[in-house]
Structure formats: C-alpha cells, structure tokens
Amino acid sequence: MILIVDFGSQYNQLIARRVRENQVYCRIEPPGIGLEKIRELRPEGIILSGGPSSVYEKHSPRVNTGIFDLGIPILGICYGLQFMVAALGGEVIRSDKREYGFAELNVRPPGGAVFAGVEKKTRCWMSHGDRIGRLPAGFAATASTENTEVAAAENAKRRFYGLQFHPEVVHTVEGKKMLENFLFGVCRCAKRWTMNAFVRDAVSEIRETVGDKRVILGLSGGVDSSVAAVLLHQAIGRRLTCVFVDNGLLRLGEAEKVRALFGKHFQMDVRCARARKTFLDGLKGVTAPERKRKIIGRVFIEIFDREAKKIKDAAFLAQGTLYPDLIESRSAFGGPSAVIKSHHNVGGLPKRMKLKLIEPLKHLFKDEVRLLGKELGMADDVIWRQPFPGPGLAVRIIGEVTEKRLTILRNADAVLMAEIRAGNYYRKLWQSFAVLLPIKSVGIMGDQRTYENVIVIRAVTSDDAMTADWAKLPHDLLGRISGRIINEVRGVNRVVYDISSKPPSTIEWE
C-alpha cells in the first residue's frame, strides 16, 4: 500500500491512478494525517504530492516531519521534494527563471534507484517557480535541466527520493518507469490490487456492516450506481431495494431499460417512482443552470424520501460515490479545485431519513469501477456507458425545460447515439451528446421557409474528465448525424459541432 500526501496538486488523483495501474493499492490523505494513522495504515511507501504553494510561505501545507523517522521510503514530487528538502535542513528559494512545460532532463551517472533503466536524456514536464538552493546532508543531485540544477535528488541510505518535475503526467516520457522503479525497486510492493480481490473483500465487508438489515440504493442506470447495485446484490441479495426515480429528464427509452435490466435480468427489488410531471412543474420558467440543478436535487430528495419510507426495516442508504468525489468533498485536502457547479446527489438523505451511509465504491476510480463491473459479469453496454449528468437532459437544454423541448432533444440525442455506435466510436469517446440551444435559425425545407431550433453536437476524448479534447470525428459521420437529425427530428433545421476543449470550456454546457 502506498500513502499519497496531498499538498494541493492538480495532479494528485493522477498520481493515485498511476500507482493503481501497477496493481498497487494507494490512498490519498491530507497533510494533517497523524503519525499514528500512518502507522496504522502500514504503507510500504509514501509519496508527497506537488502543490501550488511555496514552502517558505507562512501558511504553506505541511505534514508531520516525523514521517522522515518512520523508516518508510518517500518520494517527493515538485512541492513534495521542496518540503522534504526544507524539513531536513536544506534550502528552497525563489527561482530567477520559472520553469513550466517541457524540459530536457539530464540524468547524472549513476542516476540512482528512480532512474534505473531510464534514458540519460529524456523529456519531462515542469511546473515550478522555486528551486533547491541547498540540499540537506546525505542528499545528492541525480538529474538536472537547463534551468534547474537540482531536477532530482536522493538520499539512498534513507530511501528518500525527490523529483522537481511531474512523473505522473503523460508529458514526462519515462515517468511511468520512474514510478515503477519507486514502487517495485525501492518499496518492494507486490501486485495485489485486483478487482477479484476487491470483490472478495468488499462482499465480506458489506455483509459484516449490514448484518440482517435492509439497504436502499438510489438507482440511476449510470455506471456507478449500476455497479454498486450489482455488488450489493451479490453481497446481501433481496435485502437490497433499489429506488429508481423517473424524472422525465432521461434519454429515449432509458427508464424502460433500467427496469428491465435490474428488475427482470438481475432479479432485484426495484421500486420505480414516476415523477415526470413533478419535475417539469418545478422547472417551469427556470432558465438559470444552477437553479435547475438545485430544483432537481430538492425534488429528487423529496420523492426519494417518500418512496423510501414505504420500505420497512431499512437501516442503510447506499450511494455510488467514487474516490474523486470523496477527495474533492474534503476541503482539508487543500487542493486547488473549486466548486464549478453543484452536483445532483442524495447527500442530504442519510441524516433526513436517519439512515447510515454505505458507499461500496468510495475508494475506486471510474476505470476501476468499469473493471469491477466486468468482474461481476455485467454487460459491456452497461459498464461502458458514457457519463450522464444527474439532472439529465435538463442541463443539456439551454434555457427553459419543457416537454416539447425535451422531445426534440431526446430524439436528436437518440439519432446521435445510434450513429456514434454504428460508426464504432462509442467506446473511443469519453462523452458524446446533443445540446438544444435557446435560439432558432432560418432554413428552407422543401419549398418552405422555416424558423426552427439549433442542435449542438458535443463529443470529447479524455482519460479522466479533468481535461478533455474535442473529438476529431470523420466528416462523413458528422454529415450523417446532421442529415438524420434535420430530416427525422421535427423542429430542428440546423446542426453545429462544438470544437472547444476543456479547459477553457467544460464538457457539459451547463
């Protein structure tokens, strides 16, 4: 197990993903973690993440320096290296030349443990404005760049290593190799983190936690709640009750698919609350995206609460919370992420319903959840489903949400999905969806002048949704999508393609 101390890096989750890709379990903890907790976790190694602060600033994040006396191998990345240097008696100063982006890394012979098998000249990704002025006693520089004399350092005797650059990003050409060297060459980790082992441990833990009580799960049909439902069902069977709220904001045929899959195929106890009118009444006249989200969240909680009260002996509420959700919800991590939008979840329910919360996926990333679904025998069309927002089509309709506008978008989206699948692009894309704009444009259909709606097609590629690039779909595919939407969806006479990346744009429009 590897412990990652989060000093606020935008890449902290990426560090964790890189570790787990090597089948080694890891956890991200805030700098305030105590030494007793660290001893309890018994990590085979510690990674100190990067961060936006300078170690000489008054309120810069710090971890208990006692970690350097635990006899555990430590890898410091960027700020993590600078913290290690400062804590052990070295000096960190402001750099005359800041270094951001690509840099040529020169590994100094013999290179040290982290650079075993790495080319002597390689490209790395820098992001820092401070530099090492003086290394602590026992340390030696192991790499440099044109602007940074100490781009890497180590104290081999104490098994302390530091990299001024970011090995976790793809831009550092041999970064994966460097991390593997730390995990296996230095820490002697074993490849024990598999989904088979996770299922075994999770089922045992769920049974021990739940006992003979009943669990309620808010089922949406998305990957996370679907995998959580199947895992819980494997552990406790019919003592799991799934509540599916049909809010009328779903894709074409979505509600019927959810009921058929989980109710009939998996033989689960699924209760369906049909609440289309309630949601649409609440959204009447509302155009602001954040108000939409809050209204949908409030109505969802009211309906879910009402349905849950009908279920006797319920003691637990299950959610498909993932590790990134858990990390971002802890302000103590001190990370740079801000709340860009409110998330539609059932966060207020456990206290309101006097239920204990159970989150069986809370230590998994999205790609691991998909692997878990595969391990549980779930079909690819479920576990590889593209992300779909909790508020549904309401946040893909810019402006007021009405039944008529929902029908237009739902039908356009169905055409898009059909063509994306037929073109064998569904699994290649992180997300693909249609957006309905609050404007109309002039067109000619047959011999008649039209004044109809505009549909935007959005398709992006990404590894984790932290960044995303617009998908370079073939022109003939885009042409088929546009032609079919205009010909088949009444009320649309123009289709446009969104070629914005994240950042600066977000993936969703609202």
Active site residues: 78, 166, 168
Cβ 321 vs Cβ 362: under 8 Å: yes
Query: What 3 state SS string does 47-97 have?
Result: EECCCCCCCCCCCCCCCCHHHHHCCCCEEEECHHHHHHHHHCCCEEEEEEE
- Residue 468 is given by DSSP the state B
* Strand-pair partners of 8: none
Q: Scanning the structure block, which residue is given the tokens 């300078």? A: 54
Nearest to 91 by CA among 30, 36, 135, 137: 135
Q: Is 435 helix (H, G, I), strand (E, B) or coil?
A: strand
* Residue 404 region by backbone torsions, left for phi larger than 0, else alpha for psi between -120 and 50, else beta: alpha
Amino acid at 253: G
Cβ 105 vs Cβ 155: under 8 Å: no
Burial (CB count within 10 angstroms: exposed 0-12, middle 13-18, buried 19+), residue 384: middle
Separation of alpha carbons 424 and 458, rounded Å: 17
Side by side, the strands of the sheet bearing 269-274 are: 269-274, 240-246, 214-218, 314-318, 356-358
Cβ 132 vs Cβ 153: under 8 Å: yes
Separation of alpha carbons 194 and 198, rounded Å: 6
